Each structure stands twice: as structure tokens, then as C-alpha cells.
Structure 1
Amino acid sequence: MSRARAGDSRIAAILGPTNTGKTHLALERMMAHSTGVFGLPLRLLARELYDKVVKAKGPAAVALITGEEKIVPPTARFFLCTVEAMPLDMRPAFLAIDEIQLAADPERGHIFTDRLLHARGTAETLFLGSTTMRPILRHLIPEAEIEERERFSVLTYAGAKKLTKLPRRSAIVAFSSEDVYSIAELVRRQRGGAAVVMGALSPRTRNAQVELYQSGEVDFLIATDAIGMGLNMDVDHVAFASFSKFDGRKRRRLFPHEIGQIAGRAGRFRSDGTFGQTADARPLDADIIERVENHTFEPVRKLTWRDGRLDLRNLDTLRRSLNTPSPDPVLERVRNAADEHVLDLVSRDSDIRERAAARDGTARLWDVCRTPDFRKSSPEEHARLVSTLYMHLTSAKGYLPDSWLDAQLTRLAKTAGDVDALAQRLAYVRTWSYAAHRKDWTKDPEYWTSRTREVEDQLSDALHERLTARFIDRRTSALMKGLREKTDLQSGLNSLGEVTVEGHFVGRLNGLSFEADAAGEPLARRAVANAAMKAVRPEINRLLSQLSQAEDADLALGEDGLLNWKDDPVGRLKAGGDPFTPGVDLIGGELGSSELIAQAEKRLMSFAADQAQTRLEPLLDMRKALKEEGRLDGLARGVAYQLVENFGAMSRAKLADELSALSVPERQSLRRAGVRIGEHAVFMPALLKPGAARLLSMLKAVHEGDIERAVKPPPGLTSIPNDRRYTLADYAAAGFQPCGPRAVRLDMLERLADLIRDQRSENKERRFEPNAPMTALLGCSNEDLREVLKALGYRRVQTAAEDQPELWAGRSRSGARPAQGGHKPHGKGKGPRKDVRAAKPAPVQDKPIDPDSPFAALAALELEQPKPAAQKRRKPRKKPKSKPSAQSSEAEATPVSDAPSDSAPTPAPDAQEAASQSPAEESQPDTQAASDTAETTQERS
């Protein structure tokens, strides 16, 4: 680029704070000329403006030149460049340099100063920057036209805010990658996510992250001070997480103009902006706040400078020219320039000094020493890389070896790893991308620029994905954005009941119940819940409407009190005023309208009532008969009333007084109503069907407020294990009666009584033998059958032997009935009471009777004496009052050998109550029970 005299073109400076339209003006001016070059402070900004000019002029007319990227079409007329990469051999009609106040930067300032002093356009030159440059521009370029612009919007201080209280569209500024990542992680947990922008990111990654913010997918941007250099984003508030940074030499506090440069990114065009601090940043002084708000900063008094006319004949002349003193007091010689420091380090190597002494060796060495340290390594490590590059470039081939470059890129072209690993690989790739874009460094520059761009793009995309996955909850962000901006969220429901909102899974719909996905932070769960309220409600209303019109075939009443619709639970029975017409609580549906919920509940209650009417018709018909005159009168009415109150079944013992007093017509009326008066229970056989029995048990449990008390016998079983948690009434409602270890179905219990009665009628001693038909009838083992018989009051009188069967007899008459399982009640404070009348010696003893005993003949006589089948009541003969012998008393008072011992555990009250339902006494049968049994037998036949 020519170093034109001042009078050869128009030179102007557009000065002002951020948001004054300076960059936009320069871009418009450049595109108005035939050719133009625009020097920018950041590679990211150069890429941003390149994309804008491409849209306006087409890709063939626009070039992009940075240290690591070059896109130069043959017909390019407009060049967007970093200041360091500006082509110096061009004569463009228009030339602009942005952020010229960076000429005072201690590291890069000498580059900006050189362009400020020497770079010109043939028709127009524009310098853009802060108003702090006005005095020094007047001094260095007196012919320049200076125009100052006011900010389009107002910038005000908003004070300190917690991260959780920051407004939407905020940029949070930190000054290290560690701080950026930690803040982004915190924002993700508390606010849904944030985009990340740092100068070290590749343009591809940075643009992808900025797009997340600009599109509104996230409301927060975590950035370094790179956003202060003209990156245009819609930021309403800038929050400083710190006011100090490491400037390459030391950690220092930001200057007021630096704070103003960054804070000025808040507010775009006519939208006002605010700034403040967050996290651990200390409050700003009032003086600094005033300066930032009013954009009044100390003017720049010195610029960093280095003579651009270097003598590259040898190392000595190069050093002397680098140390050329400044020609003007406002130009301050650059100190600790990175390229000069690297030159000093590498030139200590004798091989390098020798090669630098050759023709063009010093120029090549200086060119390599200016390679940026993208890796941010130590000076010594960077110097070793520069030495390697220089040795390859000064070898016999004069290029970087293809195999060596390929090995470097292959090692880096791996997209696995976390954010830090990918960012580090990208930094290394930027070095090889810089090398590939130097035309004389590789044998095939076009291939290597393409190869490095490919690797960089792969790593950039992977880094963007990792940053997004790590710092953005995509679902939460999308839901929050949808809730904020849309009246109708796009929702979906698949066949598995999975609900999606805006394409994101938010939960599952089971019947009418929406189960929100509980994964993620509290913010995520709130977003899911709010999205569900908005998006799932229409679906719930639709389902409620369908349920209110559902057919009976689509509904089912389960044993657990649940009402199912198409296999999904939608209702639960609850206690109502009438045990046979329970209420219904809807399961789910809370998101629906109250009117539709009421209609759905009404439909479920109607279905439950219909089920009861269909399955329990005999019982409900008998209840109806109680309200009608003439169908059930007298004592039959009382028996029927108690049966209805007890869900259709009761033990005979509880109704003993009423049954004994029933007249023949009253019995017949009960029989016509479907009631069977059995030997052990009074019940309705029609209610023993599995569906009716389960429904009765469930309705009883629901009415009593404890669904767990519903007995649920498997279909087809005639007896089940006796669960002591259930009461006698619980079992009766299900059509069973507990008998020792088993609960026996009532009709099977009566059939067992029939089998026993048939055997006893054929035995002159009224005894019977337990047999296989009995165990088959109850579906139990022989041992369980014995325990059932004991619980019913029968007793074993003869154990099985080789030539004798096991025989049982009916319960003896006694004042105290044996408890379930054969337990006898205990007397108060006197141990087990021995009932002499109930204890008869078994016909076969473990030990033979002593023939010399005086009672041997009496015992034999008693055993041989037959008993008539039926006999009149007689007063028992008085026994002599002589004191019996100890042996005789013991034999007379001791129970049979198979009766339970006194040490056996006392049965529960329910078991004792069950034991009271015993068959007729052996010595004098219950004539009424026999009559009832005969009637039932006659009915069956």
C-alpha cells in the first residue's frame, strides 16, 4: 500500500463512543468506491463484516485476509482484513482503519500507528475510533477532517446485580477462559444457558455461539473483552464479573476508557443500555461511572511506535533498525514486543545465526519470528516452534515438509474430548493455518490452506457442540423462549404417551395424568411444568371430552379400586353415602377445564354404579325388597337387613337367635331372595362368583376407607392361605371363611359339611374319616385339612394305624366352644381350663391299659356300649363321690393326643369368632341347622 502524501486524498476521522454508527458508515463508504481495504482489530470482526459485504456485493468481489484465513477471489475489489494482515502493496480507492485508539496498546499499538501514519486510500481514508484520539490526530495528521458523533442511545449505570437477577439480553464480561466457563456453568444452572464468545475462538465457533444469542435461544452472553472491539450484538445490559485483567505482563485494573469501550456495547441504535457489576466485582467509583455515562475520558497522549523501515541485511542491522528512536515525542518506542523477544531467543542458536547470515536469511528469520503465539505458551516454548519452522524453511528444499505438516494436522484432527481439549487443538491448528497461508512456506499452499481449514472447521463444529452441551440446556431455553414469545406452543403426543413441546421431550401422559420430566435443574423443571400447563392442556381437554362419552367396553373396574380407560388408570373409587354406589376421584386431568372434569367424573360414577347393579343384582334386589311391603316380613326382614349391611354374608353363629326363631314362610321368603342358610354361614350363592365376590370385597374396603383391606382371592381357588390381617367380615364379603391355616369359600365349606354328614350318617358312632375328596374339595394338604376340621370344632378320636383308619367325631357339647384351630379358652388366672366332658379317651392309646387297674373293666364297658343315633334328653347319672385314682382322673381330663397343646399361641379374636361357627353338637344335633341343610340339599337335587 502506498504511503501517499496528505494532499493526495481526503483524510477524515470519525470519532465517538460505541453505538454511533461509525463502522456502518465506513462500510457504506467503502462499497461506494470501486475498491477498498478495511483494517479491523479482530479476526472475528473482519469475518463479520466480510459476510455483510458478501451479501451486498457477492463472494467474487470480496476478500478476507487475516493471519489464519485468506479468501481472495481473483476479481476481489473489497478487502476485509485484520490490521496486521492489510496488504501493503495495494492502491485502493478507499481505506479505513477501525478502533485507531489501539495505537496506544503496548503490544499491538505500533502496527496501528504505522497504518495511521502511512496507509492511505487514493480517494478517501477514514480513521474510526474514540474521541480520546482527537488531540493526537490533530498533532500527527493536521489535514484530517475530524467529525465527532453522539451516541444513538443513552448508557446508564445500573449497579450490582446477582447472576440470578440479571435482566434478559445481558452480556457478562470476564477476562480469562476459566472465569468465562465457570460463570457460563452457573448461568446454565440458574437461567437456562448462555452463549460463549472469546477472542481465542475460531470465527466458525464464535459465529455459531453468537447466533444462539442473537436468535433468542439463550438470553445471556458470557464473553471476554473481545466484545468491546466492534462486535455488533443486541445487548441490553453489560455486567462486569471483574474489573481487572492480565495484560500479558501483569494483572491490572481496567482503565476507565476500557470500561467504557466494553460497557458501550449495551444498547443498540435507539435502544438504551445499562451496565454494572455482578459476581465478585467490586463497585465502581462514582468518578468512573460519570465518565462512562458521559463518554468523557482522558485523551490519548502517546502512541506505541516502531520504525517500519527495517534493515534486513543481517541480524545486527535488523536490531539497530528495530531500535531506531522515535521521530516525535508523542510516539513512544514499543517495549517488550513479542516478535523482538522471540528474535533474541532464537538468534542465540549458532545454526540459526549461521543461516541468518546467508542471503535473505535475516528477512526470512524476521518473517518467522512474527508468527503469533496462538497457543499462548511460554516465550521459550514459542521460540522453539519458531526455530523449527525456520530450520525447515532454510533447508535445501526451502519449504515446510509435507510429511511433517501432515503429521501435525493428523495429530490434531480429533474431535473427541471436552471443551478445553478442543480449544487447545484449535489454537495449535491456527498456527498451521497461519503457516499454510504464507505462500512461500509450503510447496502447495492451496492444498494446505484447504487442509487446515477443514481441520479447523471440524474442531470448530465440535467445540460449538461441546460449548452448547456444557453451557446451554437446549430444552429449557427453547421452552422458556416459547413461553415468552408464543401464544400456542407446538406440542406432540406419540403412541407411547410421550409429550414433546417445541420438539423437546417434556414428560409422559398416562391416561389423564401428566408426569413432567424431572431431569435437570430446578429452572428446567419449572420450564417443563410451565410449558406443560400451556401445551398439554388442550390435549387433556380433548381426552376428558372423549372419556365423558366413552363406551362401557372401553372402561374397566380393577380390584384395586381403579377405573381404567383403554388400559390407563383415570379414576379411583372413594367412599360415598351408599356403599354400593361409591364416589369417584379423577386421576389426573388437573390441567383440564372444570366443566370437562365434572363430566368425566360423572361418567365414571355411572359406570361404577352399572357394574355394581349388574354383578350384585341379587343383593341389590334384596335391598330393594326391604323397602317394599310384603316381600320380606318378620324376622326374615331382619336377617335380610343384616346381610345387606354385611355385604351379603355372615357367620351362622351371629344369626343363631334369629335363625332359630324363623318360621317356615320366613325361611322360604329368604330362600326366594337367594339366601342360603348353611351349617356354617348364611350367604347368597350368586355372590360367590369371582366378579361379584371381588367387587363386594372392594366396595367394603372402599366404604371403610382402606382399599388394602380388600380380599383378592385368585379365580378358581376354593381355599386360600389365611392372612391374619383380614377380619372375618373382610373374608365374608369376599365369600370366604377363615378356618385355621386356610380361608375356605363358603359354598365349599358347606359341601365339606355335606361330605362329613354323609359319612357320619353311615357310621353308628357318628364318626368320619378325612379323605381325598375332602382335600380335593378344599385344594389343600392333609395336614391343612386336619387344621380346618379342628377350627370347625371337629376332633380326632382315633389315629391311623396299620389296621385302623383315622377317625374324627363331631364337637362335644360344652359350655365353651373350641377356638379356631382347636384352641380352648383360658380361665382367668388359673391356666388352661380342662373340660372333662369334652375330653374322651381315644379308643387307641399310645400305652395299653393296665389290666390290673380297677378301672380297666369300666373303661372297656364304656367303649363297648353302643350309642343310639338319636335319643331323648336324660339327666346324667350321678357318679359316686368317691375320689378317683390319679390315673383315672388324668385319663378322664386329658384331651386327645392330636389336640393343640396349651403352649400353642392363643388365636386372634377373629379366629375365635370363626371357631364359633361349628357344626351341630354330636350328642344333640341342632335340629334347625339340620332342617336348613335338608332344604338346601333338596333344592340342589
Structure 2
Amino acid sequence: MCGHSSGAIGFPLRLLAREVYDRVVRIKGEAQVALITGEERIEPPGARYYCCTAEAMPVQRTHDGGTHSFLALDEAQLGANRERGHIFTDRLLNARGRDETMLLGAATLEPMVRALHPDAEIIKRPRFSTLTHIGPRKLSRLPPRSAIVAFSAEQVYAVAEMLRRFRGGSAVVMGALSPETRNRQVELFQSGEVDYIVATDAIGMGLNLDINHVAFASLTKYDGVRKRRLMPAEMAQIAGRAGRHQRDGTFGTLSGVGKDGGGSGRHDGEPVEFTEEEIHAIEEHRFAPLTRLYWRDSQPRFDSLPVLIGDLESPPENPVLALAPEAIDLAVLKRLAEEPWADQIRGSGNVRRFWEVCRLPDFRQQGADTHSRFVARLWQDLQRGYIGADYAAARISELDNMQGDIHALQGRIAAIRSWAYICQRPDWVLARDEMAARAHAVEAKLSDALHGRLTERFVNRRTAILMKSMGQDASLLAVSLSDEGVLSVEDEPIGAVSGFRFTVDHSASHADRKMLLAAGEKAMPRILSDKVDALIASDMAGVTLEDGGIRWEGQQIASLSAGPSAASARLVPDRQLTQLPDGARAKLVEALEAWLAARMAPLAPLAKLEEASRDPAAGSEARALLLSLIAAHGHMTRQAAGLEHLPKETRPFLRRIGVTFGALDIFATALLKPAPRQLLSKLGADPRPLNSPMIPVIDCSGALPSGYRHAGKQAVRIDIAEKIIRAAHDARGKSARRKFVLDPALAVSTGLTPDSYVYLLGQAGFRRTEGRALAEGASGPPAPDQWEWQPSRGRPSRGKPSGDKSARRPQAGSHRSKDPRATATKPHERTGAPAKKPPRAAPAKPAPNPNSAFAGLADLLR
């Protein structure tokens, strides 16, 4: 066609017309090429080349009013089709080019061409590739790049659903889809995104696809009148999609699939298998020639409706032609001609216009009765002359809805195609170009939405990609890890990597999980090695110490084994690190150990205590005390320490290594700071509650936090409590009287309430006597509270069991001491103050208390 000055080609499908239009535009430019179909019209004023559907092709017209230099009709053998055959027969008989006319079709058309045009030149183009029958194949054994052909929407959907589950999905092509949707689905297959396409027999005409094998899910179809077995020529038309040019193809049947997509493989008693004769005919391209073509008068008279109907039903005079069966347009005409208002349709102009309305295609495929009602309403609207732009815009707007399932979208596409056809007629709609553009835009949006629904339902792109990649070298897989930890293969997520642990995508089906896990594990060594390098390069950013383990990205990557103390805990890599390559694992463990050593610095005082506990020169009693202090994580009460067994000459040694002998507690001051207490909590070594900032005084109504002691309704940090008690003893030492006055400024500055202050000092053996109130009418400051130290009230008598009444705690403010664990040494023994009385002779060493854990530990160390 492009070699002539002008030309036109009629195609059986709008999709094929558009494909060739795009090719001719690339050669001749948009200004010279027109596209005319029932629903779309692109016709530049100077167009010289026309790509059309057979129904819409201009038979004898060009831009200058003459005939086309070249004219062609594709798939001319469709003259034998029951519904559209008369259109192709009319073009075969009447469409002519000025210089050249080409009728393209199957070899079975040759007898008809010779009978109708004896002088026609017959040129045969042999198939360069061969078709080979390979018998039935199960769905799971279909070779890649296969097309499965079915003859009902239900069967198409059933097969596509099975392919989605087992092979990752398929493209879907049916006559009910819009051309745009079919294009998108074909592109899905052609691009290699899926390896299978499920289609009706629409695939056999005009779709040039990269197919290696065609599998028939059925060999019977409903032709509008009855259900019948396909003719060998029809089988070959479909099977011929396999192979291209010099590449051979194969065909066969799909076994194990019934008409509902999952039956026995039989259809109404018919086995889904080719006969020997059919196989031979398809492989050798030998088919029975056509013996007739359907015909209908293409130039009927429009005197009246009965005359028009009579001409359309009149038989042909040529014996090789047969009267076409009643098509949908004639059925609608006959039904509406019986309506009472049809008598008003008079005059050739009105009759011709009415016939053109009746020829509106039934895009909804709902039958003559339903379609005739739509045509009747359209005719009533046209009786006013034109359909108003507002009315057409409103009807188009009603269909501009992308919601719903596949069936709902198909229904809207069929409806919008009807309006696209209506809006193409210049004598039907006002503002034709604008309304046609709107209809086309809505159809495009609906087609995109339908393509999305089909892809969503019938394509599992992830499974399709993995099916192709199974067995490949892991290094060739396009596996990537996003910053959010999503592991993807060619941008399709297959799981997530958290820490160094891979988990399969939770949305994957049970059947897909094993395949996704295998794909992920193939890439894990490389992915995890990269994560190790990135973690070390970031200076271990994001690594935390929690609950006795080392965590990263929400996963525990190492734990800490128990040592003699929390300061000597050893790192134990988690089992998930076994997935790392040996080199990467060694690097990570080394980096974690260095990171842990830096984080353990606040526990250096505890390590110092542990080292001293191993020193034989310390003596068994001091070593036993140190072990008890280490087990208590740096502090314990004097009563629990069992100081009666500790020789006084060992205390200087203990003080030098940071041990403080307080009035109520034995503790290492350095371990009462926030950093070591927080670290002990993170290590899981100290299960007691933690007050993270370790402020001096806190309100405490529940469990006592680590490093604190009770003071009424408050808790005071142990070293602060010692300072307050020491200040009280200093005031007592400066007083020459038994009763003395204390300055509560230090306690108040730490946040202790008066009641908590009395409670704390009561535990240390101090008794308060409230000052006498001023007499009525007297002026001046009130008398201060008087204090005296009564250690016997603060601790139990030696030898008395802990259940003795003298060991019971008094209430805050009582003259009795709150805590029976009072100091066992005099103040001058702690502070170095001169003794007021000569020391008494040392009493005999008491026998060890069998209830003291310290006594048993000391005996063991001896």
C-alpha cells in the first residue's frame, strides 16, 4: 500500500487496524494516514492511506474524491462467517483499487475467488515453518511461551487461575475485552513478564505473537446457533499461531481440564484430542475448500421498511453465494418494524437513517431483544434531530467509574464502546469531536482498570520470575535489599531481612513459600556479607544491649554467657549468624567483641572487685565478702554481709579497692552511678527495678529499685543515705551532751521529706524527741527537735534470732530504730575521731551463725 499514491486496507479486527495504522504513520506521517473503525475515527483532511475495519472501510473514495490506487481486504475467507460473512463477501465483490486490489486469506478461499473472479491472479505463500502435533500435555508440563485456547469466559478464567498458582500467571485475551486491554495483555506476554497466554479463538486472527506451542483446552465451540466441533481449517487457523517465520511450532491439547476448567478433560462426551485426519490436515495444511460465501444485498432499497427487509432477505443470484443467516442488525430491524411507532418511519431518508441506527453493533452481546430496546431509545433521541452534547456527556460520565470487578468493568467497556460508536457519527451527535474524545478517554481508563484487574487476578509476577530463575546461578539472580529491609527479585518482594534473619513474605501462599525461601537462601550469603560490611563501616550503628543480649534491627544477634560477674560476661553469637560466610562471620564477631568491650567500661569497678576476690593475700573472709558483694552487684546490707566474721585488719585492703563500709550498707560507690546501674540492667544481671538517672531520692511505693534503700514513702540512694547518716554522727560527736540537735539541710537538699528523714535515721539507731511547743502567747523560734543515738534500738542483740521482738522495725518517728541492721562499729572506727573511752578488751570470737551464708562461704574458702 505504501508503494502506491493512495490506498486502503480492511481488517477483521479493530486491534489489527490500529497496529498497522501505527506502522504506516511511522512511514508516511500522521497527516497522510487515517484510522477508521466503528468506535474510533482519525481522519486528517489530506489523508491518502486508510487503515479500517472491514465494515468501516471506504470502498471507492479518496481524499480527492476518486478511487484508491491500492485496496486490500485481509482475512477474506471470513466471507464464510455466519455473522459477518456478508460484509467480507461484499468487499470481495465490490471493493476495488484503481491500480491494484489484493484479497488476503486462506488457501481454502481459492475456489470461491476463481468462481467469482476468473481473471484473478492467485499467489500462494507457503509456510516457512512446520507445525507438529505433540499430543496432550498437563498444565504443569506445558512448555514456556505457550498459548492455551478455550471457548468460554469461564474456562479461560479457570485455566488462567491454575496457571497463576502453578506457573506464576498468564495474560488473558478474549473478544469481550476492549482493544486497549487486549493490547496491554498481549504486551504482558510479548515482554516475557509471563510465559503463558490464555485466549479464546480471537487469538487466531490478526494477533502475531511469540508463541512456541498452542494447547487446545477444548475442541468445541458455540457458533451462535449450536455447539459444534471446530473445523480442521479453524483448528489450523488457531494452531498456526505457534512458530514464526522459520521457527517451528507445536500444537496439542490440554489434558485434565474440563469445560469448567477442572473436570475430566471431556466436553459433552467429546474427548479433548485431535483425530488422525485432523492432525494430518493441520500438519500438511490441507483443508476442504470453501463451497459457499454468505451474501446479503449491500445496496437495498429504502422505499419503506417492508421493502428494505425484503431486499435484505432476498437470496443471491450467483449459485456460489448463499443468503446470510439473520444477523443481529436484521433481527433488530425486524423486531422494531413491528412496533406501532414504526409506521411513522416514511421516506427513503428516514428509512435509511433508521437502518443505520439498527446496524449499531451489539457490543454488550446481550442478544437481539435487549439490544433492540437500546436501539429504539437511540432512535427516539434522534427523532429530535441530534443527540444533545449535554445528554451524551451525562451518559459518558455515568460510565466513568473504575470500581468493580472484571465483569463490571467489561460491562462498562461494552457500554462506552456503544457510545464511542454513536459519537463517531457526524449526523447523530452535536459536538461530535469533543464527545468522541470523551468516550475514547473513558474507554482508555476503563481498559487500564480492566488490565489491572486481570493482572492482579491472573498474574503472580513474583512466582513467574522465580519459575524462570530456578536452577540459575545465585549470583545471576537480580536480588536486591532495600533500605527498609525488603528483599526483592526484579523489584518483586519475596521476603524481609531483619538483622541477619530472612523471613518469607507473609502474604505468600503455602505453595509459594518453599520457592520463595529457596530463592532467598540462594542470595543470602552475598546479601548478608554486604550487611556485615555496612554495619562495621557504620561503626556498629543501631546495635544495642538489651535483656542480656546484643540486638540489631529488632533481632538478637548475640547473647552473653554468665561469668563470675557481669563484668566478665562472654559474647556468644546467635544461631542466625551461621548463615554468614565464614569470613564475614569472623569479622562480625570480632567487631561485636570490640564494641562490647567499649560498652563494658562502666563496670570496671566490678571487674576490680572480681580481680581482688582471686587474690590469695586478701584472706578468705575478705574474699568471701567480695564474692557476696559481686553477686549482689555492688551493694548489700550490713546484716546480709555478716561483718562479725570479717577481721578489722582486712578492711583497709577492701577500702583501697573501692568498698565502703556504711552505717547500714556495704557498697562500691562507683557502681551506684547511672552508667553501671543501667548497664547491669541491660545485661540482665540485676533483675531489680532500675531508676535510670539514679537521682538521690525518689518516691517509692512499690518494689525497691537497685541501689536504693527504703526511707518511708521514699527511697534514697545508698551512698546518699550514708552521707546523711555520717553527718548525723558528726553532729553527735561534736556534742558534749547525750542529746543533740541535727541540721536537716543536707537531707532537705536531696529531696527527703521530714518523715522520710526521721525514718532513715531511725534505721541507723537515732531517736528523735520532738521540741517543746511555744507557750501560748510566747514569741520566738520554737525549740528544736532533740536527737540521741541508741544503737541497741537500731540492731538486734547478738545471738538473738531474727524473729526476736527486739529486731522488729519501729514505725517512722518512733523512738525505736526502724532497721535492726545498725552499725556494728563505733563512729570513730569509721571516721577516725579520737575515742572518748578506752577500748574494752576484745570479746571472744563468737561462733559462726549457721544461718549465715557468709559463714559457710568463709569456711569453704579456708
Q: Deviations over 1:195-235 (max 9, x none)?
A: 43332333333323322332233444343321121211223
1:102 to 78, 86, 97: 78
Contact 1:168/1:219, CA 8 A, preserved across alignment: yes
Check if 1:276 corresponds to 2:253.
yes
Specify the alignment match of 1:262 in structure 2.
238
What displacement does 1:325 show?
3.0
Specify the alignment match of 2:851 in structure 1.
none
2:309 to 319, 340, 358: 319
Greater shift in the superposed pair: 435-444 or 40-49: 435-444
2:11 to 35, 40, 65: 40
What displacement does 1:64 show?
2.6
Distance in 1 (CA, whole Å) between partners of 2:501 and 2:42 is 58
Check if 1:575 corresponds to 2:561.
yes
Contact 1:562/1:569, CA 8 A, preserved across alignment: no
Check if 1:59 corresponds to 2:45.
no
Contact 2:387/2:428, CA 8 A, preserved across alignment: yes
What displacement does 1:344 show?
1.0
What displacement does 1:775 show?
10
Matched residue type, 1:41: P
2:622 to 636, 656, 667: 636
What displacement does 1:615 show?
1.9
What displacement does 1:691 show?
1.6
Distance in 2 (CA, whole Å) between partners of 1:285 and 1:568 is 58
Specify the alignment match of 1:854 in structure 2.
none
Contact 1:491/1:536, CA 8 A, preserved across alignment: no
Contact 1:541/1:592, CA 8 A, preserved across alignment: yes
1:919 to 805, 816, 821: 821
Distance in 1 (CA, whole Å) between partners of 2:108 and 2:615 is 107
Q: Deviations over 1:717-746 (max 9, x none)?
A: 45786977x9xxxx8xx5457899998754
Matched residue type, 2:366: S
Specify the alignment match of 1:434 in structure 2.
421
Change (3 A) 1:534 1:120: farther
1:159 to 87, 112, 136: 136
Check if 1:713 corresponds to 2:700.
no
Check if 1:623 corresponds to 2:517.
no
Q: Secondary structure at the match of 1:930?
A: coil
Q: Secondary structure at the match of 1:319?
A: helix
Contact 2:629/2:636, CA 8 A, preserved across alignment: yes
Change (3 A) 1:86 1:589: farther
After TM superposition, the structure 1 = structure 2 runs for residues 282-321 of structure 1, keeping only pairs within 5 Å, are: 282-283=265-266, 284-287=272-275, 290=279, 294=283, 300-321=290-311
Change (3 A) 1:130 1:758: same
Q: Secondary structure at the match of 2:86?
A: helix
Matched residue type, 1:671: R
After TM superposition, the structure 1 = structure 2 runs for residues 343-358 of structure 1, keeping only pairs within 5 Å, are: 343-356=333-346, 358=347
After TM superposition, the structure 1 = structure 2 runs for residues 548-627 of structure 1, keeping only pairs within 5 Å, are: 548=536, 558-561=545-548, 563=550, 571-575=557-561, 579=565, 580-585=568-573, 593-612=581-600, 614-625=601-612
Check if 1:673 corresponds to 2:657.
yes
Contact 2:173/2:199, CA 8 A, preserved across alignment: yes
Change (3 A) 1:642 1:176: same
Contact 1:767/1:809, CA 8 A, preserved across alignment: no
Specify the alignment match of 1:201 in structure 2.
177
Contact 1:559/1:712, CA 8 A, preserved across alignment: no
Check if 1:387 corresponds to 2:383.
no
Specify the alignment match of 1:691 in structure 2.
675
After TM superposition, the structure 1 = structure 2 runs for residues 528-543 of structure 1, keeping only pairs within 5 Å, are: 541-543=529-531
Contact 2:793/2:820, CA 8 A, preserved across alignment: no
What displacement does 1:642 show?
5.0
The gaps in structure 2 that reach 5 residues or longer are: 62-66, 267-271, 775-784, 836-862
Distance in 2 (CA, whole Å) between partners of 1:240 and 1:805 is 109
After TM superposition, the structure 1 = structure 2 runs for residues 504-519 of structure 1, keeping only pairs within 5 Å, are: 518-519=506-507
Change (3 A) 1:816 1:81: farther
What displacement does 1:583 show?
0.3
Specify the alignment match of 1:875 in structure 2.
none
Contact 1:291/1:297, CA 8 A, preserved across alignment: no
After TM superposition, the structure 1 = structure 2 runs for residues 764-913 of structure 1, keeping only pairs within 5 Å, are: 809-813=793-797, 817-818=801-802, 824=803, 838=805
Change (3 A) 1:328 1:817: farther
Contact 1:174/1:240, CA 8 A, preserved across alignment: yes
Contact 2:664/2:764, CA 8 A, preserved across alignment: no
Contact 1:586/1:601, CA 8 A, preserved across alignment: no
Distance in 1 (CA, whole Å) between partners of 2:736 and 2:543 is 52
User: Percent identity among equivalent residues?
Assistant: 37
Contact 1:482/1:489, CA 8 A, preserved across alignment: no
What displacement does 1:95 show?
4.2
Q: Deviations over 1:887-935 (max 9, x none)?
A: xxxxxxxx99989xxxxxxxxxxxxxxx999425xxxxx8xx315x654
Distance in 2 (CA, whole Å) between partners of 1:939 and 1:597 is 61
Q: Deviations over 1:598-635 (max 9, x none)?
A: 212211212222333x32323323433455675x2454
Contact 2:700/2:713, CA 8 A, preserved across alignment: yes
Distance in 1 (CA, whole Å) between partners of 2:242 and 2:764 is 94
What displacement does 1:575 show?
0.9
What displacement does 1:368 show?
2.7
Distance in 1 (CA, whole Å) between partners of 2:765 and 2:232 is 105
The gaps in structure 1 that reach 5 residues or longer are: 1-29, 702-707, 819-823, 825-834, 841-894, 900-914, 921-925
After TM superposition, the structure 1 = structure 2 runs for residues 743-754 of structure 1, keeping only pairs within 5 Å, are: 745-747=717-719, 750=722
Change (3 A) 1:685 1:302: same
Matched residue type, 1:352: A
Matched residue type, 1:40: F
Distance in 2 (CA, whole Å) between partners of 1:260 and 1:124 is 29
What displacement does 1:338 show?
1.6
Distance in 2 (CA, whole Å) between partners of 1:555 and 1:348 is 83
Greater shift in the superposed pair: 507-516 or 267-276: 507-516
Distance in 2 (CA, whole Å) between partners of 1:49 and 1:400 is 33
What displacement does 1:400 show?
4.6
Change (3 A) 1:359 1:666: closer
TM-score by length of 2: 0.74
Distance in 1 (CA, whole Å) between partners of 2:404 and 2:690 is 57
Contact 1:266/1:275, CA 8 A, preserved across alignment: no
After TM superposition, the structure 1 = structure 2 runs for residues 87-98 of structure 1, keeping only pairs within 5 Å, are: 87-89=58-60, 91-92=67-68, 94-98=70-74
Specify the alignment match of 2:852 in structure 1.
none
Q: Secondary structure at the match of 2:570?
A: strand
Change (3 A) 1:221 1:793: farther
Distance in 2 (CA, whole Å) between partners of 1:420 and 1:183 is 17
Specify the alignment match of 1:936 in structure 2.
830
Distance in 2 (CA, whole Å) between partners of 1:152 and 1:475 is 34
Change (3 A) 1:759 1:401: closer
1:69 to 23, 31, 40: 40
After TM superposition, the structure 1 = structure 2 runs for residues 156-195 of structure 1, keeping only pairs within 5 Å, are: 156-157=133-134, 159-162=136-139, 167-177=143-153, 180=156, 192-195=168-171
Contact 2:131/2:242, CA 8 A, preserved across alignment: no
Check if 1:332 corresponds to 2:322.
yes
Check if 1:147 corresponds to 2:135.
no
Q: Deviations over 1:520-564 (max 9, x none)?
A: 656887898788778897675455225435659x68754534557
Give the count of matched residue pairs: 791
Q: Secondary structure at the match of 1:221?
A: strand
